[in-house]
Structure 1
Amino acid sequence: MQTPPKLRAVALEHDGVVTAAEAREHGLDRSAVHRRVAIGDWVRVGPRLYRLADHPVTDRTTTRIATLSVGPSAILSGSAAAWWHGIVDDRPGTITVTAPRGRHGPPVKGVRILNRSLDDADVLIRRDLRVTGVALSALEGAVELGAEVIDSALQQRRITVERLEEAYGRRHRCVGAAEMGPMVALLESGARPAAERFAVAILDAAGIDGWVADHPSCGYEIDLAFVAHMLAVEIDGFAFHRDAGTFQRDRTRRNALIAAGWTVLNFTWADLTERADHVASSIRQALSVAA
């Protein structure tokens, strides 16, 4: 009992997943669907939701099933949405799905369900699945996984700072906004000045002194220099601001400092805001080696 060719084509486009509504659109009533499940051609994977038995179970398959299991109006969100957009490489273990307010239904294994309303500007259809837009996906993904998610979206030119600011403006009173706000604020200046302030705060908190800011050497200014130890701490800021020319200038600068006898440590603002202990221990270790 073969699946109608047109319906099979739809299922293959949808990662092997078929909904009851799609089956009806292609002439299969409830009994026809049940027969296909009974003989093993289809596998029931959720309410009114089926998978072609001969289709591999991929990450996209399980993500689509998880989203549609929440309901027909469900929206893939957060870091899972960022993954669906191709902003991050790995699908998260727990998938966040937005459901309409007032949804009544059972929990879905491996799914965090958010009952909320989203602005139309923050929802789109990607590969025939409702998903949060790139800007909101990047912002919420960054809350879950770190600022590199935003950086990745910007480097790929999938979104602009202006779109991120607009998406944040629509969510500034909602869950996650407190974490999004500082990241959005840092974007306006490329994060460098603020990142330098983070670095100074880390040094102060760790009791590390003996540094000077903007120390001249080799025709450059070192962000934070421990002159007596010839240790240079350089702040990279957001990577999306670093085009090919900037990247080359930074490498030339680093090589010149190393050739002049400096030990150079580079930190991103994500290092400073999310891995402060690592930053402090790296600097402390470099100072002890140079002592």
Structure 2
Amino acid sequence: MQTPSRLRQHALARDGVVTFADAVEFGLTKSGVHRRVGSGLWTPQSRGVYTLADHPVTPRTRARLAVAAGGVDAALSGLGAAWWHGIVDDPPKKFTVTAPRSRHGSPVDGVRVRYRPLVDAETVTRDHLLVTSLPLSVLEASVESDSSVLDAALLLRRVSMEQLRTAAARRRGKADSAEIAMLMAGVETGARSAAERLAVDLLRDGGVEGWVCNHPVGGYFVDVAFPDRMLAVEIDGMAFHRDAETFQRDRRRRNDLIALGWTVLNYTWADLTERPGYVVERVRQALAA
């Protein structure tokens, strides 16, 4: 007993995954499916979803199984979708799937299913798999992981600010809207000022004193300075705002400050929003040195 040639090619193009609906479409009956499962030719994974027994279960296979388990119209989302789109290098340990509220698939270990509607503009088919659109994937992956995903997408010019704004607007009022709004604040015009205000709030809340903002030193204005200790806290903008010329200018600025005897700490928007305790502690350590 074998898998029909055309059905096997169909499954191989989908990383070894075959569904009951696929089998029927290619001419198999219910009993034919059961015989192939019983003979060990196919391995059952969830209700009506199988893998070819001679095909390795790769991360791509796991992603497809996760979506299949989510039911009809389920889409790979979050960090897994960003990986599928090629924005991040490694697949997540746990895939996230977004499925319509009215549909409930089979639970699968290592899969998180979020039930909420997605409009057509929020999904796209890539390599025969329904995934969230690239802008939405980038935003949700950044919430799930950190803002380096958003940084990478902008650096690679895979998304535009307008696409991100549109995707963020569609998520208003949803569970992750506050986190997405904070991410967008990190790349919008004036983000540097917002980051500086956030840095000041962190220092104030952490009980760190002796700082001043925009302190003049050697022809520059230090974002947050501790003049008595010659400590400079500099806030780096996100990648979208950092072309090669800006990068070189900031490196010269840092080198010049160090040459004048200042200790320089550089922090990113991700540091301020995702690792605030680390920021405050490093400043304390520098002041105590």
Name the TM tier (shorter chain): over 0.9
Where 2:234 maps in the other structure, the secondary structure is: strand
Work out whether residues 152 and 240 of structure 1, in 8 Å CA contact, stay in contact via their aligned partners in 2.
no
Q: Is the Cα contact below 8 Å between 2:212 and 2:224 reproduced in 1?
A: yes
1:141 alignment partner in structure 2: 141
Report % sequence identity.
56
Give the Cα separation in 1 of the matches to 2:134 and 2:197. 29
Equivalent residues of 2:80, 2:95 under 8 A apart: yes
Residue 272 (structure 1) aligned with residue 239 (structure 2): no
Unaligned 5+ residue runs, structure 1? none
* Structure 2 letter corresponding to 1:255: N
Distance of aligned partners of 1:91 and 1:76 in 2 relative to their CA distance in 1, 3 Å threshold: same
Letter of the structure 2 residue corresponding to residue 256 of structure 1: D
Question: Deviations for 1:161-195, whole angstroms, at most 9, x for unmatched residues?
Answer: 11111111112011211221222233212621100
Map of 2:186 onto structure 1: 186
Deviation at 1:104, TM superposition (A): 4.2
Q: Is the 8 A contact 2:210 2:226 kept in 1?
A: yes
**Residues 98-137 of structure 1 mapped to structure 2, 5 A cutoff:** 98-137=98-137
Aligned to 1:262: 262
Q: Structure 2 length as normaliser, TM-score? A: 0.92
Separation in 1 of the partners of 2:180 and 2:104? 29
Change (3 A) 1:190 1:26: farther
Alpha-carbon contact 2:230-2:263 (below 8 Å) kept = yes
Preserved contact between residue 74 and residue 99 of structure 1 (Cα < 8 Å): yes
**One-letter code aligned to 1:191:** A
Secondary structure of the corresponding residue to residue 186 of structure 2: helix
Distance 1:252 1:186 in 2: 24
State the SS of the aligned residue for 2:216: strand
Partners of 1:190 and 1:4 in 2: CA distance: 60
Deviation at 1:236, TM superposition (A): 0.3
TM-score by length of structure 1 reads 0.92
Rounded Cα–Cα distance in structure 2 between residues aligned with 1:132 and 1:102: 18
SS of 1:187's equivalent? coil
CA RMSD of aligned residues (A): 1.9
The answer to which of 201-210 and 213-222 deviates more is: 213-222
Contact kept in structure 2, 1:11 and 1:18, CA below 8 Å: yes
* Mapping for residues 1-291 of structure 1, pairs under 5 Å: 1-189=1-189, 191-289=191-289
Higher mean alpha-carbon deviation, 20-29 vs 52-61, is at 20-29
Where does the alignment leave 5 or more consecutive residues of structure 2 unmatched?
none
**1:90-111 superposed Cα distances (whole Å, 9 cap, x missing partner):** 3333322222222245433332
Structure 1 contact 75–98 (Cα < 8 Å) conserved: yes
Q: What do residues 237-279 of structure 1 show as CA deviations (whole Å, max 9, x unaligned)?
A: 2123212222122222212222222111100011111111111
Letter in 1 for 2:116: R
Aligned partners of 1:135 and 1:274: how far apart in 2? Answer: 21
Aligned to 1:216, what secondary structure does the other structure show?
Answer: strand
Moved more, 7-16 or 264-273: 7-16
